[in-house]
Amino acid sequence: MSDPANKRAHYDGPVTERERWRNDTGNQRIYPLRQVTPTTLDQLREIVGEAESEGIAVRAVGSGHSWSDVALTDGILVRPDGLTEWLELDRTLLRAEHRDPGEDAEVTLVQVQAGMKIAELNANLQARGLALPNMGGFDGQTVAGVVSTSTHGSGIAFGPLSDLVRSLEIVAAKGAVYRIESSDGITDAAAYRARHPDRQLVQDDDWFDAAVVGVGCMGLIYSLILAVRPLFYVREKRCLSTWSRVRDELAQGSASPVLAEYAHYELLFNPYPRKDGEIECLITTREPVSPSEYRHDHRRSRSLLMELAARFPLTPILIDLAIRLWPQISPFLISRALKALVNPDYVNISYRVFNIGAANYLPAYSAEIGVPIDEGDLHLKAVEKIVDVAAERRRLGGVYHSCGISLRFVKATRSCLSMMEGHDTMMIELIMSKHTIGGYELLNAHEQALYELHGRPHWGQVNTLTGSHGLIQKMYPRYGDWQRIHEQLNASGVFDSPFSKRVGFSSATFDG
């Protein structure tokens, strides 16, 4: 509740106390000491200073679309709503080659505040004839939120969204403001230092690779400079196939012809085999089309019936009820859903096609595990492992998946804590309808099984990673680089959180 009488010494923007924060799905809840809504870089500095002087933690949240505890804080929670502006990029601060991109540039740099939602970013880009080169299947998250957890789409030539970042402006411990870029960064160091003598420009690959996917632990991101492309159009097709066929098509890992043939290739499969032993798959391909193809093709939406059914308020209730009463019908329902999603053609502006649409609004949660596709047949074994785990849990406890399982393909990145660090990766998303009985336990069984195949869980999705037994060090070879930068940006521990303690990024002290 707002308390106007409660004047702060430094930050004097809106403050609420005794108010619960919950993520969008409602499976993560916490009562932070305060919630604040800053609008300026200076206010972010004041908030960090205030937290440090009080000895409490601070963490920025995005739109709360992580299903994991990654955004929780018991100290000061920084809401994104005051930091949603499109910023006019000051090109006089850039190196000469970036100052004037020209009308026909393939890459354009744009700058936005951290809390802008992907939907607003897309609208802003479209208004300027620009677009994200790729995106995830949803647009409700904030820019800082997707970057911080290495959110991704599908397409083996495309890294996660964090790879679009060219410069990151962040408020670190002691309220220090950093502009962090790769060693060949876009900023003209002399011009920047002359303009902002009180800020630190760091152009260093180790710093950049660590800070971008910072999972909220590196500080409060104020703004980001992103590399985007000219506006474009995309055609989507969805057809049915079977795992035995797809298995052959994916046998060559990231060099598989099918991944090169389609710019964006992904699939959804039913983990419960048919009577003939086949696993049903729905293949989705997306490819850029020319503006004239777009103009001549008028199939501007997916199945209207499916979109309406997904948005109909009773749909999730009926699905949940059916699965609770007769869990054994889940394999049939998943099979029907795959068939209903078949769609010969859908053409639209890129971001509308990348967004999977109304399915995002069905109450659900998911875990997502990345398995390398450049290490022999680990990715194929992973799918077969999932089928085995699903069968075992059904046999032993009558537990069922309530949705199909998605496979997406993402290019390797350098970001130290990205799930795609160092490897082209197949991301396996295990989605559960919100009230699935035993759903979290089933996800955990898959997570544990996939560790054996070098699986790395998505930071923003349900996971049970812990800092014990050096698990994260083994999973992420550049964890040491990440921690080195983390210890500098978070020198006072002000960005520690329940999540950072769980995974061992920060630890409680014990003087015995």
Binding region for ligand FAD (CB under 6 A): 24, 59-66, 70-71, 80, 114, 136-138, 141-142, 144-146, 148-149, 151-152, 215-216, 220-221, 360, 458, 460-461
Cβ of residue 56: shortest distance to ligand FAD, in angstroms? 16
* Residue nearer to ligand FAD on the CB measure, 220 or 234: 220
* Residue nearer to ligand FAD on the CB measure, 142 or 433: 142
Cβ of residue 145: shortest distance to ligand FAD, in angstroms? 2
Compute the residue count for the chain.
512
Q: Which residues contact 235 (CB under 8 A, 6 or more apart)?
A: 286, 287, 288, 289, 293, 297, 345, 346, 347, 353
* Residue nearer to ligand FAD on the CB measure, 63 or 330: 63
Distance, CA of 15 to CA of 8 (rounded, Å)? 9
Distance, CA of 403 to CA of 418 (rounded, Å)? 26
Kind and range of the H or E run holding 236: strand 233-242
Distance, CA of 66 to CA of 149 (rounded, Å)? 9
Cβ of residue 461: shortest distance to ligand FAD, in angstroms? 6
**How would you class 304 by CB atoms within 10 Å of its CB: exposed for 0-12, middle for 13-18, buried for 19 or more?**
exposed
Question: How would you write 445-470 as a 3-class SS string?
Answer: HHHHHHHCCCCEECCCCCCCCCCHHH
Q: Strands across the sheet with 15-17, in order? A: 15-17, 34-36, 76-78, 58-60
Distance, CA of 222 to CA of 215 (rounded, Å)? 15
Question: Residue 360: left if φ>0, alpha if ψ -120 to 50, beta else—which one?
Answer: alpha
Q: Strands across the sheet with 425-433, in order? A: 343-349, 233-242, 280-289, 264-269, 405-410, 425-433, 364-372, 456-457
* Residue nearer to ligand FAD on the CB measure, 330 or 461: 461
Cβ of residue 366: shortest distance to ligand FAD, in angstroms? 8
108-113 and 58-60: which strand pairing?
unpaired
* Residue nearer to ligand FAD on the CB measure, 34 or 458: 458
Tokens of 57: 């933690």
Q: Which residues contact 362 (CB under 8 A, 6 or more apart)?
A: 310, 315, 316, 319, 433
Roughly what angle, to the nearest 10 degrees, separates helices 304-311 and 314-325? Answer: 80
Cβ of residue 416: shortest distance to ligand FAD, in angstroms? 15
Cβ of residue 410: shortest distance to ligand FAD, in angstroms? 9
Structural contact between residues 88 and 48, judged by C-beta atoms closer than 8 angstroms: no
Kind and range of the H or E run holding 345: strand 343-349
* Residue nearer to ligand FAD on the CB measure, 264 or 394: 264
Cβ of residue 263: shortest distance to ligand FAD, in angstroms? 16
* Residue nearer to ligand FAD on the CB measure, 134 or 187: 134
* Residue nearer to ligand FAD on the CB measure, 84 or 242: 84
Cβ of residue 252: shortest distance to ligand FAD, in angstroms? 24
Nearest to 432 by CA among 451, 450, 409, 406: 406
Cβ of residue 502: shortest distance to ligand FAD, in angstroms? 12
* Residue nearer to ligand FAD on the CB measure, 159 or 331: 159
Cβ of residue 25: shortest distance to ligand FAD, in angstroms? 6
Phi, psi of 470 (to 5 degrees): 60, 25
Cβ of residue 41: shortest distance to ligand FAD, in angstroms? 11
Q: Which amino acid is at 190?
A: A
* Residue nearer to ligand FAD on the CB measure, 154 or 294: 154
Cβ of residue 72: shortest distance to ligand FAD, in angstroms? 8
* Residue nearer to ligand FAD on the CB measure, 259 or 417: 417
Q: What is the CA radius of gyration of the chain?
A: 23
* Residue nearer to ligand FAD on the CB measure, 294 or 459: 459
